[in-house]
C-alpha cells in the first residue's frame, strides 16, 4: 500500500525539542521530494520544509528557519523533522507530504498527521 505514516508527536514544554518521523512505503521514496506541512487546531495549512530526493536542496518557511531541520534516510525510507526551541505557536498537527513528481511543489500523498502540543 502506498502510504506515509508520521510518528513522534506529543506534549513538550516551551523551549523543548522533538523529533518527528515519517515512514514511507509502497512507492519509490528515494526518488521523491518530500515536505512537512502543519495545521494548527482549527486553522489552515502551513508549509514548513522541503527536501529533494538526494537531500541536496533544503528549504524552510521563515517561521521555522533556524529552529527546525529536515533530513531523510533513503535506505530506511524515512523522513525526519528535528524541532528545537519549540513555542506555543508550534502546536499543530504535522503532516509529511510527497512532492508531485511532474510538478514538484504540489503534494500528492499525505500522511495521517501527528499532533505536537507545546505547553507548560
Partner 1 sequence: EIVLTQSPATLSLSPGERATLSCRASQSVSSYVAWYQQKPGQAPRLLIYEATYRATGIPGRFSGSGSGTDFTLTISSLEPEDFAVYYCQQRFKRQTFGQGTKLEIK
Residue with cell 518557511: 61
Please, what is the minimum distance in Å from the beta carbon of residue 15 to partner 1? 27
Under the criterion CB under 8 A, does residue 105 sit at the interface with partner 1? yes
Q: How far is residue 24's CA from residue 86's CA, in Å, rounded to a whole number?
A: 26
**Residue count at the site for partner 1 (CB under 8 A)?**
21
Q: How far is residue 96's CA from residue 98's CA, in Å, rounded to a whole number?
A: 7
Contact code string over 22-61 relative to partner 1, x by CB under 8 A? -------------x--------xxxx--x--------x-x
With respect to partner 1, which residue has the nearer C-beta, 47 or 71? 47
What residue ranges in 1-120 does DSSP mark as E strands?
A: 3-7, 10-12, 18-25, 34-39, 45-51, 58-60, 68-73, 78-83, 92-99, 107-110, 114-118
Residues between 85 and 104 with contacts to partner 1, criterion CB under 8 A: 95, 100, 103-104
In the complex, the residues that contact partner 1 under the rule CB under 8 A are 35, 44-47, 50, 59, 61-62, 95, 100, 103-108, 110-113
Amino acid at each position: 500500500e502506498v502510504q506515509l505514516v508520521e510518528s513522534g508527536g506529543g506534549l513538550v514544554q516551551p523551549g523543548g525539542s522533538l523529533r518527528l518521523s515519517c515512514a514511507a512505503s509502497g512507492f519509490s521514496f528515494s526518488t521523491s521530494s518530500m515536505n512537512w506541512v502543519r495545521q494548527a487546531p482549527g486553522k489552515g495549512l502551513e508549509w514548513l520544509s522541503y527536501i529533494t530526493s538526494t537531500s541536496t536542496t533544503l528549504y524552510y518557511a521563515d517561521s521555522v528557519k533556524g529552529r527546525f531541520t529536515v533530513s531523510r534516510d533513503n535506505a530506511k525510507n524515512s523522513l525526519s523533522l528535528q524541532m528545537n526551541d519549540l513555542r506555543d505557536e508550534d502546536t499543530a498537527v504535522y503532516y509529511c507530504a510527497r512532492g508531485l513528481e511532474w510538478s514538484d511543489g504540489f503534494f500528492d500523498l499525505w500522511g495521517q498527521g501527528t499532533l505536537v502540543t507545546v505547553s507548560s
